[in-house]
Amino acid sequence: MKKLFITCVSLCLVVIVVLLVFYKKGYRVNVFNPSKLHCNQSFDPAVWDSCNYTDFRLDTFSLPEIKYNQLPYIHGRKKPRVYDHYDAEGIPLHIDRRENNLNYHPVFLDLVGLMYMDYYVKNKDKEGLERAYLIYNKMVNSSLKLDSSIYFPYTFPFPLHDCEEETMIPPWYSAMAQGQALSFFSRLYEETNDDNVLENCHKVFNSFLRLKGDGNDPWVTCVDKDGYLWLEEYPRDLPCFTLNGMIFAIYGLYDYYRITDSEVALKYLNASLTTIKDNILRFRCEDDVSYYCLKHNNFNGRNPAYHKVHIRELNKLSELTGDPYFSEVADIFIKDTEGKENLKVH
């Protein structure tokens, strides 16, 4: 009996060791990653909002005048950041750890460009401006030109939440990438008065005017059945309605409106702010981290890191609009994670 017991214990230990090895090597099994079973069980495809409408609602926001240091993406670097990998032209490359390769990630390039612009504004070092132009030219030359719009492609697949059935197939496009490019290009124009840069600002903005409901492909904006305008980070037939990516895109509309005073830009800015204000509590998970997107509102769609991003973004929206409601919701999100050391937000 004792021998049988020892044998059983030994077999159990072997199984546990094998499972741990598989886990560390990235071979996920359902015991350790039950979310694989629930990727798309948080919504019903038969009734999920396809966001195929065209008329959208909007409230108006005051948009008080703010200082440069209050703008998004301002870090005040005294030296430009040095990256691990560059191409032959000196363009920083993004490391895709999922595929173990290097690529031109549009959001990564947007943020590098914004970093160089901030460095230039703060230090008046021409190297910052030269490097910003290097990024700008790379993005424009590799963009998709369509009608009066330009789009910045993702050239690699991306399985949202590690769900194979939610994989974005390249080339794909995103409102987040478009919005951050719009911020970058707008600030480049602000410092240079370069008419070519301004022209491309207009073309990036025009990509937001191509609504899904009008049959456009590609698209990064859509209107849901309730008349809310969404700037979609993952444009799919059944959109995800992703919070952080939409707010980053809103920053782009805000920057473009600052430099153009465009009434159309103001309309889309107000409409997208209205969407966030009226829908933000749908992203709340009481006493836990907020949902990354509305489509995957189960445990697989919550992430402590993005919960903190949501809080920072909501506080920034309050600063940009003068509307205290956004920061009030940020405070609610903070309280939802109080007392949980791994989720604490300062």
**CB atoms closer than 10 angstroms to residue 8:** 10
Count up the domains in the chain and report the number. 1
Note whether 268 and 229 are within 8 A (CB): yes
Sequence letter at residue 87: D
pLDDT of residue 13: 54
pLDDT of residue 158: 93
Could you list the mean pLDDT of each consecutive 10-residue stretch along the chain, which spans 346 residues?
Answer: 52 47 34 45 89 98 96 93 95 90 97 98 96 98 97 95 89 98 98 98 98 98 98 97 98 98 98 98 96 82 92 98 98 93 54
Q: Considering only CA atoms, which of 247, 250, 261 is closest in space to residue 65?
A: 261
CATH of the domain at 122: 1.50.10
Burial 110-122 (b: 16+ CB within 10 A, else e): bbbbbbbbbbbbb
Tokens of 290: 């907020």
Half-sphere exposure of 120 (CA within 13 A, CB side): 21
**CB atoms closer than 10 angstroms to residue 216:** 17
Whether 21 maps to a domain, the answer reads no
CA dihedral 248, 254, 258, 261 (to 10 degrees): 140
Burial 219-248 (b: 16+ CB within 10 A, else e): bbbbbbeebbbbbbbbbbeebbbbbbbbbb
pLDDT tens column, 196-205: 999 999 999 9
pLDDT tens column, 91-100: 999 998 887 8
pLDDT of residue 340: 76
Half-sphere exposure of 105 (CA within 13 A, CB side): 17
Tokens of 124: 């008046």
Tokens of 277: 């204000």
Sequence letter at residue 175: A
Tell me the pTM: 0.88
Cα–Cα distances (Å) from 267 to 121, 141, 345, in that order, read: 29, 29, 33
Residue 52 belongs to domain spanning: 33-343
**CB atoms closer than 10 angstroms to residue 277:** 17
